[in-house]
Amino acid sequence: MQSKKAHRPVDLAKQQAILDAAREEFFDVGYAAASIERIAQAADVSKVTIYNHYQGKENLFSAVVEGQCERMRFAVDRALGGSEDFRAELIAFGQSMLGFLSSEEILRFDRRLAGEIERYPEMGELFLEAGPHRLRAMLTAAMAEAMERGHIARADPYVAASHLFGIIRGFTEVEWRFGNLENTRLDEARVADAVDRFLRAYAP
């Protein structure tokens, strides 16, 4: 459908501005309360331009969600890194994971998307694939390797990954999602504590 002889290219800067403005609007007030006219105004773009590129509100929302998923994929793929000391590695991972999960960007995304999945279940799947499932797979692989190397006892690596994830996260998630405050500050010792308990539970 792309016209062959484009005598005037699409203004990509405007496209990005639209997506940015849409993201802000959607995550600020939620899908239902979001206004395309406000988005157009914030992006300094005519409303018609938006309708020319995205057929309507739902499409625009989809585009925003996909963009955020892409960012999440990128962020998750570079989470588990160094490998000198196993314990230190786990602590570093836990630290960066908690930092990621408690970031305002992720929290807003999470909160707003959760409210829409009853209407658009496929977006839930999209989100799961882009974030949690990727992280899950990475952790599972790391656990399998750790068992291979004798760092921890042999067991179902998926279950071990689930335990590690859970013990590090603990109570924090609910607090972050529903508390506007940061009374649950990122405590480094807390992570080390959880990792040590995990290592004891999985001692070879």
Partner DNA sequence: GTTCATTTGAACGCACCCGTTCACTAACGC
Partner DNA sequence: GCGTTAGTGAACGGGTGCGTTCAAATGAAC
Q: Which residues bind its own copies (CB under 8 A)?
A: 28-30, 32-33, 108, 110-115, 117-118, 121, 124-125, 127-128, 132, 136, 159, 161-163, 165-171, 173-175, 177-180, 190, 193-194, 197-198, 200-203
Does 34 engage in binding with DNA (CB under 7 A)?
A: yes
Q: Which amino acid is at 112?
A: R
Closest approach of its own copies to the CB of residue 114, in Å? 4
Closest approach of DNA to the CB of residue 50, in Å? 8
Using CA atoms, how far apart are residues 51 and 22, in angstroms rounded to an integer? 13
**What is the enclosing helix (H) or strand (E) of 140?**
helix 132-148
Does 42 engage in binding with DNA (CB under 7 A)?
A: no
Using CA atoms, how far apart are residues 175 and 150, in angstroms rounded to an integer? 36
Residue with Cβ nearer its own copies (45 or 146): 146
Nearest to 119 by CA among 38, 37, 61: 61
Three-class SS string for 61-88? HHHHHHHHHHHHHHHHHCCCCCCCCHHH
Which of DNA, its own copies, none has residue 11 at its interface (CB below 5 to 8 Å by kind)?
DNA
Tell which positions 4-23 bind DNA, by CB under 7 A. Answer: 5-11, 14-15
Neighbours of 42 (CB within 10 A): 16
Closest approach of DNA to the CB of residue 63, in Å? 13
